[in-house]
Structure 1
C-alpha cells in the first residue's frame, strides 16, 4: 500500500490517481473525509486526520510500503514556521513508528540554503528531519515554481488586466506543472529505487520569465493585452494582510520572493535530462484557459 499526504492538493491528487491507475493500493490522507470522496470513488482508501498529530499519522502510515509527504501551509497561522515544524515532526514520527521504509517528499529549489529563503527554510529543515530517521530512505523533490500558482491571479486578471507579484518580470524561473511532479513522484514511489537521503531537482521543460508566461496565458484566454506588473513589497504585504494572511505568513512569503529576485531560490545542480519535465507553459495555458472560463461563468 502507498500512503499519500495532501491527496486533495495539486500534486498529491496526481500521485494518488497515477498509482490507482497502475492498480496499486492507495491510502489517501487529508483533514476532510468529504474532500477525499472523489478519490475513494476511484478505488482509494481514505484516512481523515490531522497531519499535526503524530499518533494519527502513525496509524495512517501503518502497513504502507512507501509514502508521499508534503508540508501543507496555513497562511492564517500565527506562527507559520512553527506550524510547519509541528507538521514535519508529526510526519517524521508517524513514518518512524509505522516502519515505512521509503518516502518521497515535496521540497523546493532553494532548499540547499539554511536561511534567508522564507517558507523554503521549513522544507530544508524537513529534508534534514527525514534524513535522520533510521531505516528510512527519503527522496526530496526540489521542484521549481508551480505553473498552477497562476490560478490565484484570475481575479486580478478580470479586475485589472494584470498579473501582479513581487517577483521580477524578467527573472528566468524554472516553471513546472504540478501534474508532472505528481507523475514523477508516483513513479519513484512505485520503483523505490533510492536509498539513504537523496535529492532530485524537477525544473520543468525550461526556464520562463513571468513576462513571457503572462503573454502566453493572455493569448490562451483571449487577452492579448494582459500585462505583468511587479508589485512593490509594501503593496504585496498590505494586500496579503487584507486577504487574511497572518503577519508571520506575510513575512516568510516576502522573504521567499526576495530570495527568488536575488537568485538564491534557483537550481543548485543545473538542468539535466532527469530534472527536465514535459509540460510547457503553452500546454499549461490551455488548461488555465478552461479554468479561467469556468470561473467566469
Structure 2
C-alpha cells in the first residue's frame, strides 16, 4: 500500500494520478472525503483526516510501505499565526510516521525556499518539516525541493484575459525555475515505487529551462487573445495592499510579501544544477496549453 497525503492538493493529486495510472494500490488522504471520491471511483482507498491530527494520521498510514507527505494547505489566507499551524502539522506527521511497521520509503514535498535558512512567511515550515522527517529511523526519506510552481501564474491568466496586464513583486526579467506540479507528481510516484532512486536525500526539481515573468505574460497574452500583454512590477507595499484587499490577514499579507521579496531579491535560489536528475520535461507553453485548453 502506498499512502498519499493531501491528495486533493495540486501536487498530492498529481502523485495519486501517476500511481493510479501505473496500477498501484493506494490510499488517499484529505480533509474532505467528497473531494477524494474521484480517486475512490478508480479503486483507491480514501481516508478523511486533518493534516494536524496525529492519531488520525497514524491510523491512515497503517500498513503503508511508502508514503507521500507535505504541509497542507501551504497557505491559509486568514491565519493569524501560520507558523503555529505548521508546527502542529509537522509534529503530527512526525508522530504518525515514527516506527511504522513495513514503512520503507517517505517522499516529502518541500521547495527551493528550504535552501534559505532565513525563509519567511508561508515557506518558513519547509526546513523544519525536512528536519523532522530526517529524525525517522529505518526508512528512506527523500525531500523534493521543487522550484517555482507554474500554477503560481493561474491568477495572471485571468488578469491578462481581463486587462491585458499582469502585476507582481518579482522583477519581470528575473529567470525563474518554473515547474509543473504534474511533473513533481510523476517524480514522486517513481520514488515511492522504487522505480527511481534519488542520488541524495534532497532532490531539487525544476522545469526544462528558466523563464521570466515578462516571457510568461507574453505567452499568456498570445494564448488568450491579448498579444500586447505586459507584466508590470509593483512594490512591496502595493503587493501587501492587494493581499489585504483579497482577504488576507495582516499576518499572512506580511508573510507572503516577505516570501516573495526573498525570491525577488535572490535569497531563495536553486542550489543544484539543472541536469538529467533535476530537470523535468513540461515547458511553460505546454502547461499553458493544458490549463487554457
Q: TM-score range by the shorter chain?
A: over 0.9
CA contact 2:169–2:233 (8 Å) conserved in 1: yes
CA contact 2:160–2:226 (8 Å) conserved in 1: no
Report matched runs for 1:171-210 at 5 Å. 171-191=174-194, 198-210=201-213
CA contact 2:115–2:269 (8 Å) conserved in 1: no
Residue of structure 2 in register with 1:58 after alignment: 58
Distance 2:43 2:106 in 1: 22
Residue of structure 1 in register with 2:96 after alignment: 94
Shift of 1:197: 7.6
Residue of structure 1 in register with 2:40 after alignment: 40
Shift of 1:238: 1.1
Shift of 1:75: 2.3
Provide closer, same or farther for how the CA distance between residues 83 and 278 of structure 1 changes in structure 2, counting only shifts above 3 A.
Answer: same
> 1:169-207 CA deviation, whole Å, 9 max, x = no partner?
110000001110001110110107659981000011011
TM-score calculated relative to the size of structure 2: 0.94
Is 107-116 or 21-30 further displaced after alignment?
Answer: 107-116
TM-score calculated relative to the size of structure 1: 0.92
Aligned residues: 290
CA contact 2:69–2:109 (8 Å) conserved in 1: yes
Distance 1:20 1:254 in 2: 37
Q: Is 1:242–2:245 an aligned residue pair?
A: yes
Shift of 1:131: 0.3
CA contact 2:190–2:196 (8 Å) conserved in 1: no
Is 98-107 or 1-10 further displaced after alignment?
Answer: 98-107
Provide closer, same or farther for how the CA distance between residues 119 and 197 of structure 1 changes in structure 2, counting only shifts above 3 A.
Answer: farther
Unaligned runs of 5+ in 1: 291-297
Report matched runs for 1:79-228 at 5 Å. 79-96=81-98, 98-99=100-101, 100-191=103-194, 198-228=201-231
Residue of structure 2 in register with 1:295 after alignment: none
SS at match of 2:218: helix
Shift of 1:90: 0.6
Provide closer, same or farther for how the CA distance between residues 34 and 102 of structure 1 changes in structure 2, counting only shifts above 3 A.
Answer: same
Distance 1:192 1:95 in 2: 22
Distance 1:56 1:37 in 2: 19
Unaligned runs of 5+ in 2: none
Shift of 1:97: 5.2
Q: CA RMSD in A?
A: 1.8
SS at match of 2:39: helix
Residue of structure 1 in register with 2:79 after alignment: 77
